[in-house]
Amino acid sequence: MGDLLGNLEAYIRTLPKVDVRVALAQASLAGDPPMRADAEATQADRDLFEDEKVCAHQVGVPTAGGFTCFMDGMQRPRGPIYINSPVPILYGYIAAVIRTRGSDKKMRTLPGFHVVDEALYLPKKIAQQHGIEISGVTVVDTGDVDAIEHPLALAQAAHDKISTVRGRLESKIASEWVSRPPCDGWLLVDGSLQADYGEADIAGVTKSHSTQYLTWEEQQVALALKPGERSSAFVPIVKGGRRPVCSWYLRMHPSEGKDPYFGLIRVEIPRSSRALDMVDEISRWLLAERAPLSLPDSRWDKMIYPIRDCELYMKSLAPSHTSLDAQLMRLSAIAASE
Amino acid sequence: MQNDTLPIGRVVATEAKPSTAYSFSFWTADDSKVGIGTLVVVRTENVEVFGVVVEGFGFTDLGSPLHDYIGSEGDPNTEPPTLRPEIKLYSAAVLRVEPEEPLQPVPVGPVYLADDVAVARALRMDAYVGKSEIPVGLYQNGDLLSPVYLDSEFLLGPEAAHLNITGVSGLATKTSSIEFVLQSIFSHFREDVAVVCFNVKGCDMLFLDFPASPPEEYKYKQLYIDNNIQEIPVEDIEKYDKLNTPCQPFEKVYYYAPYKFDRLNLNTLRTHPDLIGSVKPLSWGLQDILEYTEVVLNRDDVDAKADALIQYIRQRVVGQISKVGEQECEVRNFQHLNAWFDAVLREMEESNRTEWKTHHYATIRKVFNRLTNLSTRYEGLISPDEYSSDLPWGTFEDRGVYVIDVAKLDAQAQDLVFTRVVSKLREHLEAGNLGVKHVIVVVDELNKYAPSDGQESYLKQTLLDISERGRYLGLVLFSAQQFRSQVHKRVVGNSATCLYGRMDMDELATPGYQVLTSATKEKLATLSKGQLMIRHPHFNQPIFVKFPRPNVLRGPDGIKMFPPADDLPLDEAVYRNLCTLNPDLSRNEIKDIVASADDDEETKRAMHVTLQRRPDDPVAYFRNSIKKKANIAATPDAAPVVIQSVDHDVDPFERI
């Protein structure tokens, strides 16, 4: 990790007049604030990939062994920081990792597959209008969207940008893995597949169900799935475009008496020629990953343990909220000291 | 395989469990060879911290056992595809920090195993190695074995002294470790030193002069093979090499044992014909024990009046010519003392007086009863005649081991032996005429002899005295017991060096062990043979070491090879005893002399006189001693009380 905030401090000290304000956001219980997309429900469409109508399938006895690599990403935004203007500047730390499970069942990081990125996120054009031209640090422009000149809207745009960059980072290392798989077995990524991976051995698991692909009647079938059952496979359609994946719902844990989404995940694999043949087998692999449980993570019903392992690994190496906040507070103290 | 130059762990500090100046935590790789007692070094750019592992923790990210149960569907045969990461986290206590100032919390940094040099620095041994080091064992760090040294100035004085060892019985750790430390002292201590061992039970210390592993040409080699005696293992011999200590038995060992009641056969298990010649009798006469009457008499017996009379007898009667009325007496043994008392009481009765020299008749009668009874009560140890066979006061040998076998004596006789021997040692060390400057007194079963509760005894007082004042004199106590908590606090408290073998959990639960972590206690409860925990003034934390088995024949093996002989009949016993003066004596000649004597007691007396005088011609002297008695011709050697008429008007004690 570079000394981005240190360099920012050095830059601020070069300014003739300094008025730095820092808003320290509280960390969420899960550790990091959720992405906006996670919170908003949207309706999409689908093409059925099998069956004439959505129905439940027994996938068979869980069998371990198919997945050998696991990928996850993280983001840690802090701020915003205001330097002599109401333009919000966000600090963003993002990381992605692929961890592999050896024959000893222990998780290790694949060499070269842990990447981090640290940058300041701000709308460059608007910032320049307010005389802010930060040098000496990595800056990501958040102004490529039509944002209104409102600090809160600009801050949200920065948050969204951080999520986007994180997605790109994950996509990048997933593509690297696919282009030259370092080991046998499948790669399981946390979230949707971001690209067309052709015939590659890669699968994605989505825990959030904010985007609904099935019709209301079809949803009843998915929500009524029992443990070890999956829905019919379908092709998600987003904004009119068929995504290059084959997807299905899978119930990991019984949900009686609980939220209907409890233990329900959506799986994606590349829409390859063998995709349909793999649906049940991959479902069985996933069911086998129910142990060990990912507790105490609150998403344990949908999160498989190796993904939690990836998350813990990245968090252990990320700068802590406390140290980041301390560095940001130093920035706000500059004005007071001068 | 670990590379010794690579870190084996990293210090971690959290708000909940921060590092302090005296403790820190670190995690290690799964395959690291760290365990409880391991010495480690934290090295950063500015500071080196030496520590010893005192506690270990292993855990995963599992929040509750229930989570694992649920994840396994309640089936223990389930094997999850992924193993949770398991951390091994250790707590270490700081032994030393360099530089020592400023004393700050241990920094976060890499942790290394301590090598030989680091071990020496961690335990502050660099201050005395080369000057006063005594190897005590090997500290094992992974595959490394590093010597651990005690400082003789803190083991044998004058800075501090005494060694105490605690451990359960049956593992031979206590006796073995003391034997090894003694051997180590003999080969490394730079001043002269002797050892007085009290063999208080069985045959523990009766074969210190025999090797466990005999050399090829050894006289008894075949006997070792026949009895399947376990030799010193090769790894133990390597330990001796590492500790630069010779793997050999003690060279100069002298055994002492009292006689049995028959005053012919020695009261010891070392009575095999091949060995009995090396055991000297321990026998004291009236003059030897009179100053210890408070030990041998019941405390209730010796009131102020009785004590005054005893002091009078000591100062004015024994060993000199005194007068009772008109009679002149010379008292040199119990027989003479009996006659003296007879004379005093007779005179009082004849003159119808109730007091004699201010002593009341009843007091005299009481002291008479008690004193004259001693040679009967302590028969075998206290001689009725003036025969005395004692330790070589004044001519103790450097590196000599003097073993006094009191195992078969009753508690009161043991009390007398301990008290007198230690008193004499102290007396001679104070006068500087013992023959050596330092004496180590070895006592086992301290629970029994210096208990934390129970009645005060002279032996307990003696042990307290050694432990509190001995180091100034060069008198050092090496003691052992099974339960340290049951030993008088001042005895163990004054012991600067403490060794701990395998301990009983009940004992570890007593308050004296509260300073130890639960992991250290667990380790103490499971120590195997040859392992010890050491506390020494230079080490600010207990250290675990391994020590080699001493190359000394174990007591039970010795008994197997040299079974004790049956008690000998009078003639044979006399012959054997006199052979200690000259092994070429004729058995028949001695037996003829014994057969010609009228009285067995007289034969024994003559034998003792001969043994004491050590004449050039023992047979002739022995014969003459018997003849003289037969002719009732008093000799200076066996003079009975001589009673002569004296002037009644002269009272030699009138000043009293």
User: Which tens digit of pLDDT belongs to each residue from B137-196?
Assistant: 999 887 788 999 999 999 998 999 999 999 987 777 888 999 999 999 999 999 999 999
- Residue in A with minimal Cα distance to B70: A293
Q: For residues A59 and A231, give the distance between their C-alpha atoms in angstroms, rounded to a whole number.
A: 10
Q: Is the pLDDT of residue A302 over 50?
A: yes
Mean pLDDT within B383-395: 88
Q: Indicate the range of B537-551, B570-584, B619-633 predicted with least confidence.
A: B619-633
- Within-domain flag for A294: yes
- Residue in B with minimal Cα distance to A304: B82
Q: Say what the pLDDT of residue A152 is.
A: 84
Which candidate in A106, A294, A295, A297 is best for mutational testing of the B interface (most B CBs within 10 A)? A295
Q: How far is B66 from chain A (nearest CA, A)?
A: 10
Q: Say what the pLDDT of residue A31 is.
A: 47
- Residue in A with minimal Cα distance to B82: A105
| Residues of B at the A interface, defined by Cβ within 8 angstroms | 61-64, 67-68, 70-73, 78, 80-85
Q: Say what the pLDDT of residue A2 is.
A: 61
Computed over every residue of chain B, the mean pLDDT equals: 87
Q: How far is B204 from chain A (nearest CA, A)?
A: 52
CB of B535 closer than 8 Å to CB of B551: no
DSSP character at residue B616: S
CB pairs A-B closer than 8 Å: 48
User: Residue A3: CB partners within 8 Å, gap ≥ 6?
Assistant: none
Who among A292, A309, A312 is closest to B71 (CB)?
A292
Q: Which residues of A touch B73 (CB under 8 A)?
A: 291
Q: Indicate the range of A29-38, A198-207, B318-327, B389-398 predicted with least confidence.
A: A29-38
- Residue in B with minimal Cα distance to A293: B71
Q: Is the pLDDT of residue B417 over 80?
A: yes
Q: How far is B63 from chain A (nearest CA, A)?
A: 6
- Within-domain flag for A155: no
Mean pLDDT within B246-265: 93
Q: Say what the pLDDT of residue A336 is.
A: 64
Q: Is the pLDDT of residue B4 over 70?
A: no
pLDDT over 70 for what percent of chain B? 94
Q: How far is B499 from chain A (nearest CA, A)?
A: 42
Q: Which domain holds residue A194?
A: 42-66+185-303
Q: Is the pLDDT of residue B654 over 50?
A: no
- Within-domain flag for A110: no
Q: Say what the pLDDT of residue B1 is.
A: 38
- Within-domain flag for A16: no
Which candidate in B64, B82, B87, B88 is best for mutational testing of the A interface (most A CBs within 10 A)? B82
Of B116, B141, B145, B121, give the one whose Cα is nearest residue B48.
B121
Please give the C-alpha separations between residue B75 and each of A60, A293, B78, in angstroms, as whole numbers.
19, 14, 6
Q: Tokens 């222990």 label which residue?
A: A106
Q: Tokens 């989505």 label which residue?
A: A206
Who among B63, B64, B83 is closest to A106 (CB)?
B83
Who among B71, B81, B85 is closest to A293 (CB)?
B71
Who among A107, A295, A312 is closest to B82 (CB)?
A107
Q: Give me the number of domains chain A comprises.
A: 1
| Residues of A at the B interface, defined by Cβ within 8 angstroms | 64-65, 101, 104-107, 288-293, 295-296, 305-306, 309, 312
Q: Which residues of A touch B76 (CB under 8 A)?
A: none
Prior bond of B99 cis (ω within 30°) = yes
Q: How confident is the model at residue B299 (pLDDT cuts 50, 70, 90)?
A: low
Q: For residues A154 and A80, give the distance between their C-alpha atoms in angstroms, rounded to a whole number.
A: 10
Q: How far is B236 from chain A (nearest CA, A)?
A: 38
Q: Indicate the range of A131-135, A187-191, B396-400, B637-641 predicted with least confidence.
A: B637-641
Query: Residue A151's Cα: distance from chain center in Å?
Result: 25
Q: Say what the pLDDT of residue A16 is.
A: 83
Q: Which residues of B touch A63 (CB under 8 A)?
A: none
Q: How confident is the model at residue B297 (pLDDT cuts 50, 70, 90)?
A: confident
Write down the H helix ranges in B138-214: 152-155, 173-188
Q: Which residues of B touch A312 (CB under 8 A)?
A: 61
Mean pLDDT within B577-587: 88
Q: Indicate the range of A316-325, B343-352, B632-641 predicted with least confidence.
A: B632-641
Q: Is the pLDDT of residue A105 over 60?
A: yes
pLDDT tens sequence across A258-270? 999 999 999 999 9
Q: Which residues of A touch B72 (CB under 8 A)?
A: 291
Do B84 and A305 make contact, defined as CB atoms within 8 angstroms? yes
Q: Which residues of B touch A291 (CB under 8 A)?
A: 71-73, 78, 80-81
Who among A101, A295, A312 is closest to B82 (CB)?
A101
Q: For residues A98 and B243, give the distance between their C-alpha atoms in angstroms, rounded to a whole number.
A: 52
Q: Say what the pLDDT of residue B599 is.
A: 82
Who among A292, A296, A312 is closest to B82 (CB)?
A292
Do B85 and A289 make contact, defined as CB atoms within 8 angstroms? no
ipTM attached to this prediction: 0.76
Of A168, A203, A182, A181, give the one whose Cα is nearest residue A73.
A168
pLDDT over 90 for what percent of chain B? 46
Q: Which residues of A touch B81 (CB under 8 A)?
A: 64-65, 101, 105, 288-289, 291
Mean pLDDT within B228-247: 93
Who among A104, A107, A293 is closest to B67 (CB)?
A293
Mean pLDDT within A151-174: 91
Q: For residues B609 and B388, give the distance between their C-alpha atoms in angstroms, rounded to a whole number.
A: 9
Which residues pair with residue B329 across a beta bridge? Answer: B322
pLDDT over 90 for what percent of chain A? 55
Q: What is the residue type of B84?
A: R
Do A291 and B78 make contact, defined as CB atoms within 8 angstroms? yes
Give the tokens for residue B128: 């005395």
Q: Indicate the range of A133-147, B475-489, B528-542 predicted with least confidence.
A: A133-147
Computed over every residue of chain A, the mean pLDDT equals: 88
- Within-domain flag for A91: no
Q: Say what the pLDDT of residue A147 is.
A: 61
CB of A286 closer than 8 Å to CB of A226: no
Q: Which residues of A touch B68 (CB under 8 A)?
A: 292-293
- Within-domain flag for A77: no
Mean pLDDT within A318-334: 86
Q: Is the pLDDT of residue B635 over 70?
A: no
Q: Is the pLDDT of residue A178 over 60?
A: yes
Q: Which residues of A touch B29 (CB under 8 A)?
A: none
In Å, the largest CA–CA distance within chain A is 72
3-state secondary structure A275-297: HHHHHHHHHHHHHHCCCCCCCCC
Q: How confident is the model at residue B262 (pLDDT cuts 50, 70, 90)?
A: confident
Do A309 and B82 make contact, defined as CB atoms within 8 angstroms? yes
Q: For residues B84 and A303, give the distance between their C-alpha atoms in angstroms, rounded to a whole number.
A: 15
Do A292 and B68 make contact, defined as CB atoms within 8 angstroms? yes
Mean pLDDT within B41-59: 93
Q: Which helix (H) or strand (E) holds B524?
A: helix B518-525
Who among A105, A295, A312 is closest to B81 (CB)?
A105
- Within-domain flag for A171: no
- Residue in A with minimal Cα distance to B68: A292
Where do the DSSP E strands lie in A185-336? 186-190, 202-206, 211-212, 229-231, 234-238, 241-242, 245-251, 264-270
Q: How confident is the model at residue A26 (pLDDT cuts 50, 70, 90)?
A: low
Do A309 and B85 make contact, defined as CB atoms within 8 angstroms? yes
Report the 10 Å Cβ neighbour count for B617.
13
Mean pLDDT within B260-286: 90
Do B67 and A64 make contact, defined as CB atoms within 8 angstroms? no
Q: Which residues of B touch A295 (CB under 8 A)?
A: 62-64, 67
CB of B156 closer than 8 Å to CB of B190: no
Mean pLDDT within B85-91: 92
Q: How confident is the model at residue B629 (pLDDT cuts 50, 70, 90)?
A: low
Do B82 and A306 make contact, defined as CB atoms within 8 angstroms? yes
Do A295 and B67 make contact, defined as CB atoms within 8 angstroms? yes
Q: What is the residue type of B50?
A: F
- Within-domain flag for A216: yes
Cα torsion for A327, A333, A334, A337, to the nearest 10°?
-140
Q: Is the pLDDT of residue B316 over 60?
A: yes
Q: Is the pLDDT of residue A36 over 90?
A: no
Do B80 and A305 make contact, defined as CB atoms within 8 angstroms? yes
Do B83 and A64 make contact, defined as CB atoms within 8 angstroms? no
